Amino acid sequence: MTGPLTGLHVVEIASEISGPYAAKLLVDLGADVVKIEPPDGDPLRQWGPFPPGRAGREGGLFEYLNAGKRVAALDDARELITHAHLLVENCLPGTLDLWGFDRDTLNEINRNLLVLRISPFGQSGPWRGRSATSLTLQAVSGWVSARDPDRPPVQVGARISEYVAGAYGALGALTTLRLRPAGQVREVDVSEFESLLSTLPYPMLMAQKMQSLGLPSNARGAPMLGVVRAADGWVGINCLTGQHWLDVCAMLGLPEFAEQQIAIMMGGPERAEFYVRAERLLAEQTVAEIVELCQALRIPAAPVNDGATVLECPQYVTREFFVDDGEFRRPGSPFRFTKGPVGQHQPAPAQTSGPLPFAGLKVLDLSTFWAGAYLTCYLGAFGADIVKVESIQRPDGFRYSGAFPFEGDDWYERSGLWQATNLNKKDLTLDLTSPRGLEIAKRLVAQADVVVENFSPRVVENFGLDYESLVALNPDVIFVRMPGFGLHGPWRDYVGWALNFEQTAGMSAVTGYPDGPPCNPQGPADPIVGVHAGVALLAALEHRTRTGSGQLIEVAQIEVAACVTAEPVIEYSMNGVVSPRQGNRQRGYLQGVYPTAADGAWVAVSLPDDGALDHDAFDELVAAWTHPQQPADIVETLRAQGIAAEQVITGEQMYDPEFAVQLDARGFYEEFEHPITGPHRYPGWPFRITPGPRRHHRSAPPTLGQHNAEILRALGLSDDDVAALRAERVIGERVQGA
């Protein structure tokens, strides 16, 4: 196997999903990975799914996560580590010390080694040794969400959450490999808890905002129409704007509801009437018919695929994304490169412009909303010079998420979601529909190392900013494109956002109550895509260091979402089975989410299942015990017995001292002063590099066009030139019409 990381030697002492997925991403990019297993093997071997008659042998999920790796015994670990660049481990903190691989010993073996450590709460802080399972980590991070007011909140299914820390781990490891040698072992300490928290649309900032406006802090408007039944399955219709809603009402022949979007979204009395009428109309059409009609009207809609229908999805089929692996099919790579890399891995040259891994890297950010901007926020945090381009005619749409027109003329500056995603950047407004604006954009391309965009493909192409045009301006540029559905295929120009991609990939189909409809995981796909794009970009930068050659990186968001939802596809292709949704259960555990004496407060409890108790009986016993008690008392009692238990956390609790004690101990939140909205505590990244950068972010989020004059003067424009551009509205510092 060859790839941009060919020659990178990795030793993996990891099991289950998080560590192996981190190493799998490196294998996909050409790294040589040796997996060390104990005598009884990785427990995931016994998880399944299994082909008929072969239960108990290597399961399909294990093969998916570990394909392309070599396997060795623990006795061989010392010799392998001696020659490795990277060691990946996801044992409980202190485990490797007990196995004779403490920090001092690793320094003796290999002073140039980088150790990637993935653990539930990280290697430091008061929660370091706290018991945890996938369910309790989801609960304490905000991933367990209310779906039905009469039932417990529900986790995200198919073990999707366990992939997230692995992706961050791969990103953190490749980032750290760019630093100067430290003369000692370096560590990247990934917290699974912080990883899950990092993928949410900043609920702590939204809750703070709602409180400041005197509005309910825990109000979460459901996307509309959401997941609804069609004649032959489920379909997701996800209105993102007011225009989408008007178009839906027109499409359904229900114009009388056009002015009632907010009331319906927030659960007003009009909601039931609207849904009764809309669902009756939709139930008469097939999923394909509904999606085709919605997309013709530019309404974000997608099928809610499961492990069977995802394999038939025309976009995946045309792009040949799912690949055969002997007895089953599995997702392919989450990223695609235009140029085949050459050469062998060498340590990256020492950075000459500072101690940060991306110091001196120039990035032109043409992205919108979250996925692309999340990537560029990360690059800027660790030293890159980011120029974010929007316009006064059409500013980044994410500015309007979590901000309200009644807040004043500058309301588009008041979105905590936009702010948290655009730290560490300089903001330039350019009207790309004007010849002068486009010419300036092309001058910035000529100077850039990296260009990032995540529009539907035709947007930048209509501006003449396709890859071939960029290469003509800058032969060595790396262009990261992150389209929702990919750069080719019958759905190439479909519109969509995170919920559509989660629905298309199968994430929604595995989330929800066993007897209820599919549920959206609430939008983590955007940052998950951003992290995967970061992994691909770092590999491309390594390739360019060796060869001097840039390339096009395509990261289709529906493909990343499918990569972290692999098990349903493997199970169906192997056995023809689509397993029902599991609610809050997971094989091998007795667990659930249970009521407490506090109104609206729930606790998640999880312990190994030894087969001695029926799960329904367990649920009844635990619910009867928890119901009359306060959440803190329940959690404290169970933790004292070594049982994993957490309160289900919502946004308004995420700054509370008792919740944030672990985050504050690890410096997860950092405060910056926004010029208009004042100081805010923004989330950072879910890992620590030791020795390495101590801060998560470098600068406050900018206001619209804040750096116009600075950036344009650096291009050689005079003050008169800048004034002329402003007069012509090629640039500006306020939204046109505001």
- Tell me the pLDDT tens digit for each residue of 490-549: 999 999 999 999 999 999 999 999 999 999 998 799 999 999 999 999 999 999 999 999
C-beta separation of 301 from 237 below 8 A: yes
Separation between Cα atoms, residue 668 and residue 540, nearest integer Å: 29
Region 30-40 average pLDDT: 92
Nearest to 532 by CA among 329, 340, 372, 385: 372
> How many alpha carbons fall within 13 Å on the CB side of residue 693?
24
DSSP class of residue 487 equals: S
What the block records as the tokens of 248 is 């839906």
Start-end of CATH 3.40.50.10540 domains in the chain: 9-200, 358-567+700-728
pLDDT digits (tens, 9 = 90+) for 533-572: 999 999 999 999 999 999 999 999 999 999 999 999 999 9
Give the whole-number percent of the chain exceeding pLDDT 90: 87
At residue 212, the 3 state secondary structure works out as helix
φ, ψ for residue 276 (rounded to 5)? Answer: -60, -45
342 pLDDT band, cuts 50/70/90, is very low
Residue 343 has pLDDT above 50, yes or no: no
Residue 219 has pLDDT above 80, yes or no: no
Domain at 358-567+700-728: CATH code: 3.40.50.10540
C-beta separation of 386 from 425 below 8 A: yes
Average pLDDT, rounded, for the chain? 94
What pLDDT score does 240 carry? Answer: 81
What pLDDT score does 222 carry? Answer: 64
C-beta separation of 217 from 652 below 8 A: yes
Nearest to 208 by CA among 660, 685, 697, 530: 660
Nearest to 198 by CA among 155, 240, 167: 167
- Is residue 453 classed exposed, middle or buried when 0-12, 13-18 and 19+ CB atoms within 10 A define those classes? buried
Residue 616 has pLDDT above 80, yes or no: yes
Strand order in the sheet with 478-481: 336-337, 552-554, 478-481, 450-453, 362-365, 385-390, 426-429
What pLDDT score does 575 carry? Answer: 95
223 pLDDT band, cuts 50/70/90, is confident
At residue 668, the 3 state secondary structure works out as coil
The CATH class for the domain spanning 9-200 reads: alpha beta
What pLDDT score does 218 carry? Answer: 65
Question: Which stretch of 32-36, 145-149, 304-308 has the lowest confidence by average pLDDT?
Answer: 145-149
What the block records as the tokens of 21 is 């997925």
**Kind and range of the H or E run holding 88:** strand 86-89
Residue 272 has pLDDT above 60, yes or no: yes
